[in-house]
Structure 1
Amino acid sequence: MTTWGRGAVLGLGTVLLWLTALLGRAWAAGPPGVDLPPLVPTDGSDRFRAYTDPGELPRLRLADGAGELPLRHTRVRARITGLVAQVEVTQTYDNPYPEPIEAVYVFPLPENSAVDDMRMVIGDREVVAEIQRRERARRTYEQARRAGHTAALLEQERTNVFTQSVANLAPGEPIDVVIRYVQDLSYDAGSYEYVFPMVVGPRYVDGAPRGGRPSGTGTKADTDRVPDASRVSPPVAGPGTRTGHDISIELRVDAGLPIRGFDVPTHAVTGGLEPDGTLALTLAEGATIPNRDFVLRYRVAGPAVRPVLLLDGDDQGGCFNLVVQPPDVDVDGLVGARELLFVVDVSGSMSGVPLAIGKAAMREAIRRLRPVDTFNIVTFAGHTGLAFDQPRPANDQWIREALAFVDGLRAGGSTEILDAVDVALSTAPGRGRHRYVFFLTDGYVAIEDEVYARTRRWIEVLAKRGQRARVFSLGVGSSPDRELLASLAKAGDGLELVLTTREEPREAVDRFYGAIDLPIWTDLEIDWGGMVVTSLHPSSPPDLFATRPAVLHGCYEGPPAAELRLRARDGARQVQAIAPARRSTVAPGVVTTLWARARVEELRRTLSIEGDRGQVDEITQLGLDHRLVTPYTSFVAVDRTRVVGKGDPARVVQPVEVPEGVDAELAGAEVARRSMEMRALASESAVYDFDDDSIDGEHAYDAPALGSRRSEREEPRTELERADAKGGGCAHRRGRDLAELGLPLLLLGLRRRRGGRRWLSRSRGPRRRSSTRPGARASRWRCPRTAPEHRPSRTPR
């Protein structure tokens, strides 16, 4: 074929891509033939559609057609007793390739889970994992991989993000990796709630790239702010495809009291109440794509949760759970004057469904304000903005203006959440008022510990001034980052709430106002009745909300008390309650495991503020002593009975589903092709190939907005340690899609091209396009990091 002919063919292909892009807009809801029901009824013309079942979606496959991806199925079996869930997760891997492979899968578990067991099952062989220090476990795994032994390694990246690596999967031989964990259930406004997260959402990664070898196999570069970004950024399946990974869930609930009713707002289920009074549920067929969190809520007959001391031990000692619940009171007059700040995430990952349901929740929350309240609205993305120059009274005029402001919100840009924390908390509340900060976000950032530390420091600064603020978080979407939500709420002495894509926004708003419309117990004191308590977590007594009990974990020596006496204040009144002692009904050792997990969490939170090496050592020892996966301890299992291959297996990084309702590219996620390259790599490279339909596209996480400026806010007070200066923002630059680039691409295609683009590199980490090759086009921008400009504050005082 002549040079001109090759160019014409390329040009014609480009035109077809152009037309495909145009048609793709009409297919935004999904491929033809797939029934996609509306997600959420909203006012106006907003309607949303998203994938709810496998349907006819094509699966991602290996590029040479050898087979599908290694992770085939996840089976979840949960047994719930009282306020504790015991869960077993089985991941089934299979190798469709004729050579041994290594599979790497980044997946979520609940943010409060205590992972205390892992086993690897190969045929009739079961290998029980050992708990080791993280570095040693990685060495053990790498040695087994190079020796040709089948091995599995489980590492914790965040409290709710884990990496499973399985080396030397033999061709055609399935392997099960069984993970077990326990967790405290949540209880809110009369309902118990169990959540199983299914997908790791795309996180915004801040900071300057560190260079060198990446720490993981993800799609983001490690940075000075997020040194493990490549470990929490798995590739995602593109629009109209699925990973081929399905999930099944089996639940049994033994509440100890008759179950009055249950609701699963996120999925279709089968089953119901059994003759013995337990609740048995199974995920229905057609709801098996792991692209949104599974949520079960249920109520029991009889009185609400009451204070109780649950013991796991004897007269020599043991551990306990102390459940503290304020009694029902009717004292609306004690709520006091309030100042509410609604902080709304309008970054790129909130585009579409998340922002739409968030705006619906905002409208409901604004209409529910009391006439004596004052309020303001803060928005954040690449920069931070305010609806009003100062908090306004909740009268008809300002409510109308606020609703109009909410209607005009649009999503796009990076997620500079620390700026929003500063704006919301750096100024004093109005005279005589308590400030309630209401963060509405999907939580897709990778700096959860920084968010906790910054929020906590501001709360302490305000307390030193004799002022009070509380931070509540409302997670929006099908799979919000619940660790970020918990970080905000715990640091801010508030509560975390979630509004899924399958719920009415009014329900989440009801839960928020249900918490702040009733008095809050403060200054909790416990009379232990002679019981010798050796450890209690949290170590500082928490504030208690009328709608949600607190669970304290502790250990004791000698005989336990028959009952405890609790005293606290709700406003100006002294209140008290009695907590009788009972034996725990969960399996022996579970309460002790939950205590160890609570101790680890408190140490980790303190570490994010103080940075004491001794806390790392104590977390590590707790993990080793109690067989817990922590940031510094991992499970590793090695089958040394045989050798598979030559010790150089090809690595396949398992992509994950896009969270339902999220635009993957606007969220900054790398999208996998429908077929993926796989080969043996001497340098432990990730073997991945990414779509190029993002040419000059709108990537919310990487490109600076021209002329943008960070929010103008008050400098942190001297009591608050100044955060490291950040650059002038990396908000997205407005890009062009394929349809807009059609003619230039056509002309480019008619030109003679030398060589061709190579899509795969030999370096370790995700296979990225290189901007240094002839003819390559950069699809990302990097913004220079400059010192932020500080100007006089315009935030409300």
Structure 2
Amino acid sequence: MKYKKMRNHSTKGNIVLKEVSIEGNVCGEFVEFVINHIYENTGKDDVRGVYTFPIPDTAVISGIEVNLGGSVIYGKVQSKEEIEKVYENLVFSDNEKLQLEELNKDKLKLSMSTILKGEKVGIKVSYIEELSNFNNQLKLTIPHIVNPVNMFNEKDPQKEKIKYKLSLNLLIETFDKTFISSDSHPIKVEEGEGNIYKVTLKDNNCALNEDMNIWLKEEKTLEASGMIYENYEEDNGIIYLKLLPDVEGNLEDKKGNYIFLIDISYSMEGDKLKEAKTALQLCLRNLSSEDKFNVAAMGDKLTYFSNEGLVKFNNENLILASKWIDALTCENDALLFDGIKYGFDNEQPGEDNVIIIFTDDVVDNEKEILDYVSEIKTNSRIFPFGIDAAVNTYFINKIARLTMGKAEFINSGKRIEDVVLTQFNRIRGLQITDVEIDWGRMKVDKTYPRTIEYLYDGEPFSIFAKVLGDVEGVVTINGMVDNRRVQRKVMLSKVDLAVNADLIEKVWYKKRIESIENRIIYERDEIYDAMRRKIIELSTESGIISNETSFVLLEEIYEPVLGGVMRKFLPVSSSAMKEEKPVMSNFYYTQNLENIDLDQLKWDGISKEDLVRIVATQQLANGDFSYSIEDSEKEKLLYTTEAIIAFTKNNIIIDMYRNLLIKGIMYILDNYINYPEDGEILAFCYYAIKEVNSKLVVKDHQRVRINEVLEKITELMEECKFDINKIEEIILGRIQRDRNENILSEIICNLIN
């Protein structure tokens, strides 16, 4: 993530960055930043400038303020329809001070017509962000800054020598004692009472030449915790619950039947079909040896990987299915209804039946299909993936909801593989159903989400409730896991920081808006219109952007004669009002690594995230990673340990690969004993197991076995006189030596180095 350069449109203009101040308030897993930039034109000419701010993936803009030419310009949230009406009758000159050129989920772009020589410009942007859970800790990222650039002299060497003043002030309030660190910048952490921390820069000479990463790791990972904010003036409050369900259960023996339906109609031609194929390859690798599956391509007719119906998931069928998927090409139509009927026809009574659909179909016969699904009373859960913005979101969500599944959409620049892996963690894992919340004596007015259908094991979940009157006591969460009842009690602690009380109220609005936006896709006509009006009301009231609103720019000018402040509208480009277009990824690969020419592979252009995705497609049915099915058992064990080490040795999120990594670890646990006198193999096994054990939250019964095996491997290494202290040195050396053996070794080496 980075800022675009402030563009300086003049031969003798010289825009320099003088100061950056970053204020932030963190409450639990939410943060509001206010980032203020001060620029100055130190050149001999007046200039024009263009400022771009990158909006983080999980953030929403909550404020814009610009100080330019002696006036204050700020953004005010209004509905897009109202903005269009306001601007219909307004005429602007070509020299307006400021224009909002672009505003979407990714970017804010402002253009300034005139920055006088010697003049300073202050640009303040505030946004609310939900922090990502990154391998059992929260990651807070502040994007790095690129110094202003003269469009007529972008390589001006003086630019890099200019220093700016940088200040940081974060106030952090957490649920439990927390360790705060940064791997990019020297920070100072001051601990106060009640799990409150102040974070500043230790070095005054710091610069944001790279992203600033701040890590928050709680001393204890609490399964359920909560904060309360009391509004004494209005006699109400907000409860914020954070859940990280940890449901014990043995999934290794769980049997499932999987029908994969892939749309191969002409509209899927190109990138969409390639991404769907890649996602399908990863789906298959999330299955276990107890599962059965089949793949059906929905084209002019249905074609099947196996004409005999469901087949066992094993190495032979995995390889055959992978080749069959790679060979799919587009046809004219997509028989979606026939595909869904086929999925229901293959249900196995008493077993877990899952139908997974990849489609971009707008679905002309949606009512016929939905009526059929409602009437059939199926035991199959449908997990559809809607690809591209043109897909019928109402239908995709409705069919998932009718079958107790969950829909996902690939239309906002997301990697489809990442969404698939997250979805499969839900499908494969345990889930808490029939969720009920007992609020005790508290009078709850509204909640987000309004209803809770499932809580998924290991997936963070937040609940917000607005309470009338006193806010105190214990909240009890009840639910069912299969046939057993589970219960979690949450002790509430008060928010001590006034700024965080304000943040929690804003997050409440943000979540209420998101809740309605998530539900509106199920509705039509009058109900749809009413929900849309509610989104606009909440968005304009809170000042938080939604799908239905945007900013208008208002300039405040002090009028000395009248002794008051005049307000004037400034231009807003039509591009700032448009919905963002979907961005498909541009990196694809097939399951067969032998098809990739190692000499032509451009390593510099491939991210580590993409390399990890390639390695993920190489897992076979029994959990081992290998270059070829013909590899020896010893080679497969070694490749598996190397692959797992490659996953864990990078600063990337690996939680989504949980199923693959646990399968790989179980393979190691079952096979290490075949090499009791090979110190090197034992070292690789020990290191891979230990890395996963420290990076992933594993179940108690798995951890017990893992710890037992680690002790046994330690004993074996001692018996063969292996120097345990040199494990990492030996492993990295071996991987480096073998890097040219084949493309998998090369990829693993590039990931680890």
2:181 counterpart of 1:270: no
Q: For residue 555 of structure 1, what is the aligned residue in structure 2? A: 466
Q: For residue 614 of structure 1, what is the aligned residue in structure 2? A: 530
Q: For residue 518 of structure 2, what is the aligned residue in structure 1? A: 605
Contact 2:38 2:122 in 1 (8 A): yes
- Residue 328 of structure 1 and its aligned partner are, at CA, apart by 4.0
Paired residue total:
524
- Residue 405 of structure 1 and its aligned partner are, at CA, apart by 4.0
Q: Please list the CA deviations of residues 439-488 of structure 1 after superposition, one character each: whole Å capped at 9, or x if unmatched.
A: 899xxx9x9xx89x989x96994697243425387999xxxx9x99x989
Between 1:370-379 and 1:488-497, the stretch displaced more is 488-497
Unaligned segments of structure 1, at least 5 residues: 1-51, 199-240, 289-293, 665-797
Q: Distance in 2 between the 1:567 and 1:511 partners?
A: 24
TM-score of the aligned structures, taking structure 1 as reference length: 0.50
- Residue 526 of structure 1 and its aligned partner are, at CA, apart by 1.2
Select 1:542's aligned residue among 453, 456, 464.
453
Q: Please list the CA deviations of residues 286-307 of structure 1 after superposition, one character each: whole Å capped at 9, or x if unmatched.
A: 657xxxxx99775432233424
Contact 1:317 1:556 in 2 (8 A): yes
Alignment of 1:503-542 (within 5 A): 514-542=425-453
Q: Distance in 2 between the 1:575 and 1:119 partners?
A: 49
Q: Distance in 1 between the 2:399 and 2:219 partners?
A: 30
- Residue 253 of structure 1 and its aligned partner are, at CA, apart by 8.2
- Residue 571 of structure 1 and its aligned partner are, at CA, apart by 0.9
Q: Distance in 2 between the 1:298 and 1:115 partners?
A: 23
Q: Distance in 2 between the 1:635 and 1:342 partners?
A: 42
Q: For residue 322 of structure 2, what is the aligned residue in structure 1? A: 403
Q: Distance in 1 between the 2:48 and 2:320 partners?
A: 59
Q: 1:309 to 1:657 in 2, by over 3 A?
A: closer
Q: 1:649 to 1:468 in 2, by over 3 A?
A: closer
Contact 1:305 1:325 in 2 (8 A): yes
- Residue 494 of structure 1 and its aligned partner are, at CA, apart by 4.5
Alignment of 1:38-77 (within 5 A): none
Select 1:129's aligned residue among 63, 75, 96.
75
Contact 1:188 1:548 in 2 (8 A): no
| DSSP 3-state at the match of 2:522 | helix
Select 2:221's aligned residue among 303, 317, 341.
303
TM-score of the aligned structures, taking structure 2 as reference length: 0.53
Q: For residue 226 of structure 1, what is the aligned residue in structure 2? A: none
Q: 1:58 to 1:335 in 2, by over 3 A?
A: same
Q: Distance in 2 between the 1:308 and 1:162 partners?
A: 33
Alignment of 1:192-203 (within 5 A): 192-193=138-139
Q: 1:649 to 1:471 in 2, by over 3 A?
A: closer
Q: For residue 150 of structure 1, what is the aligned residue in structure 2? A: 97
Residue type of the alignment partner of 1:303: T
Alignment of 1:710-789 (within 5 A): none
- Residue 119 of structure 1 and its aligned partner are, at CA, apart by 1.2
Q: 1:659 to 1:365 in 2, by over 3 A?
A: closer
Q: Please list the CA deviations of residues 372-418 of structure 1 after superposition, one character each: whole Å capped at 9, or x if unmatched.
A: 212345789999986455543212321121233466689x999x9x9
Task: Give the superposed CA RMSD.
Answer: 6.4
| DSSP 3-state at the match of 1:610 | coil
Q: For residue 381 of structure 2, what is the aligned residue in structure 1? A: 469
Q: For residue 322 of structure 1, what is the aligned residue in structure 2? A: 241
- Residue 522 of structure 1 and its aligned partner are, at CA, apart by 0.7
Select 1:589's aligned residue among 502, 507, 517.
502
Residue type of the alignment partner of 1:337: G
Contact 1:324 1:550 in 2 (8 A): yes
Q: Please list the CA deviations of residues 176-221 of structure 1 after superposition, one character each: whole Å capped at 9, or x if unmatched.
A: 54332223334477333557899xxxxxxxxxxxxxxxxxxxxxxx
| DSSP 3-state at the match of 2:290 | coil
Q: 1:69 to 1:124 in 2, by over 3 A?
A: closer
Q: For residue 209 of structure 1, what is the aligned residue in structure 2? A: none
Q: For residue 366 of structure 1, what is the aligned residue in structure 2? A: 284
Alignment of 1:159-308 (within 5 A): 160=105, 164=109, 166=111, 168-170=113-115, 175-187=121-133, 190-193=136-139, 254=172, 256=174, 257=176, 259=178, 269-271=184-186, 274=189, 276=191, 299-308=217-226
2:490 counterpart of 1:572: no
Q: 1:575 to 1:661 in 2, by over 3 A?
A: closer
Q: Which has the higher contact order (CA 8 A, sep 6+)?
A: 1
Q: Distance in 2 between the 1:127 and 1:615 partners?
A: 31
| DSSP 3-state at the match of 2:429 | coil
Q: 1:378 to 1:88 in 2, by over 3 A?
A: farther
Q: 1:648 to 1:591 in 2, by over 3 A?
A: closer
Q: 1:629 to 1:58 in 2, by over 3 A?
A: closer
| DSSP 3-state at the match of 1:579 | strand
Contact 2:355 2:380 in 1 (8 A): no
Residue type of the alignment partner of 2:459: R
- Residue 308 of structure 1 and its aligned partner are, at CA, apart by 2.7
Q: For residue 66 of structure 2, what is the aligned residue in structure 1? A: 120
2:29 counterpart of 1:83: yes
Alignment of 1:453-492 (within 5 A): 461=373, 465-469=377-381, 471=383
| DSSP 3-state at the match of 1:615 | helix
Between 1:534-543 and 1:381-390, the stretch displaced more is 381-390
Contact 1:436 1:469 in 2 (8 A): yes
- Residue 639 of structure 1 and its aligned partner are, at CA, apart by 2.6
- Residue 542 of structure 1 and its aligned partner are, at CA, apart by 3.3
| DSSP 3-state at the match of 1:588 | helix
- Residue 560 of structure 1 and its aligned partner are, at CA, apart by 2.1
Q: Distance in 1 between the 2:380 and 2:134 partners?
A: 23
2:347 counterpart of 1:430: yes
Q: Distance in 2 between the 1:69 and 1:463 partners?
A: 67
Contact 2:230 2:237 in 1 (8 A): yes
Q: For residue 717 of structure 1, what is the aligned residue in structure 2? A: none
| DSSP 3-state at the match of 1:322 | strand
Q: Please list the CA deviations of residues 570-628 of structure 1 after superposition, one character each: whole Å capped at 9, or x if unmatched.
A: 11111111122222356222222222222222323333332322222222221222222
Unaligned segments of structure 2, at least 5 residues: 145-154, 192-196, 560-568, 589-753
Select 1:635's aligned residue among 551, 570, 575.
551
Q: 1:316 to 1:161 in 2, by over 3 A?
A: same
| DSSP 3-state at the match of 1:179 | strand
Contact 1:438 1:474 in 2 (8 A): no
Alignment of 1:632-671 (within 5 A): 632-639=548-555, 641=557, 662=586
Residue type of the alignment partner of 2:287: L
Contact 1:120 1:152 in 2 (8 A): no
Q: Distance in 2 between the 1:116 and 1:649 partners?
A: 19
More helix by proportion, 1 or 2? 2
**Larger of the two Rg values belongs to structure:** 2
- Residue 555 of structure 1 and its aligned partner are, at CA, apart by 1.0
